C-alpha cells in the first residue's frame, strides 16, 4: 500500500466549476498536511496547509482534513484554465519535517 494515494487523473472540469481533489494517507502519525501545485516543467509551489480536522478556506481554495479517516481533500471553486496543473498532496512527518508526496492528480480546466 502506497503511503499517499491520489487519483492520477486527469480530472477534467469546465471553467467556473468546482474541482475536488482527494488524497488518502497511511501514516496515522502525520499531523500536518500540505497541498502543492506543480505546473508542467516547474517546481512545486505551496497552495495550502491544514493541521486540524475540518475545513480551511483561502480564497478559492478549501482544504478539508479528516484524520480519523486518514483523508485530506482540496476544493477549488470557480476553476480557471490557469488552475490546470498537477496537485500534490503531502502529509508531513513532523519529527523529521519530511514531506511524503503522493503521485499527484492532474487537473484540466476546460475553457
Partner 1 sequence: GAVVSQHPSWVICKSGTSVKIECRSLDFQATTMFWYRQFPKQSLMLMATSNEGSKATYEQGVEKDKFLINHASLTLSTLTVTSAHPEDSSFYICSAFGVGVGKETQYFGPGTRLLVL
Q: Which residues bind partner 1 (CB under 8 A)?
A: 32, 34, 36, 42-46, 49, 88, 92, 96-99, 101-104
Is the Cβ of residue 40 or residue 82 nearer to partner 1 in the bound state?
40
Q: Which is nearer to partner 1, 72 or 88 (CB)?
A: 88
Cell of 98: 519530511
Cβ closer to partner 1: 51 or 71?
A: 51
Q: Residue 60 Cβ, how far from partner 1 at the closest point, in Å?
A: 18
SS3 letters for the chain? CCCEECCCCCEEEECCCCEEEEEEECCCCCCEEEEEEECCCCCCEEEEEECCCEEEEECCEEEEEECCCCEEEEEECCCCHHHCEEEEEEEEECCCCEECCCCCEEEEEEC
- Cβ distance to partner 1 smaller for residue 19 or 102: 102
Q: Least CB distance from residue 88 to partner 1, whole Å? A: 7
Amino acid at each position: 500500500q502506497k503511503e499517499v494515494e491520489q487519483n492520477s487523473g486527469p480530472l477534467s472540469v469546465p471553467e467556473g466549476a468546482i474541482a475536488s481533489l482527494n488524497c488518502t494517507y497511511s501514516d496515522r502519525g502525520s499531523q500536518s498536511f500540505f497541498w502543492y501545485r506543480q505546473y508542467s516543467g516547474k517546481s512545486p509551489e505551496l497552495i495550502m496547509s491544514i493541521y486540524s480536522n475540518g475545513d480551511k478556506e483561502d480564497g478559492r481554495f478549501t482544504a478539508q482534513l479528516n484524520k480519523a479517516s486518514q483523508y485530506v481533500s482540496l476544493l477549488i471553486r470557480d476553476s480557471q484554465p490557469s488552475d490546470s496543473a498537477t496537485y500534490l498532496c503531502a502529509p508531513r512527518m513532523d519529527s523529521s519535517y519530511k514531506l511524503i508526496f503522493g503521485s499527484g492528480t492532474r487537473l484540466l480546466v476546460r475553457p
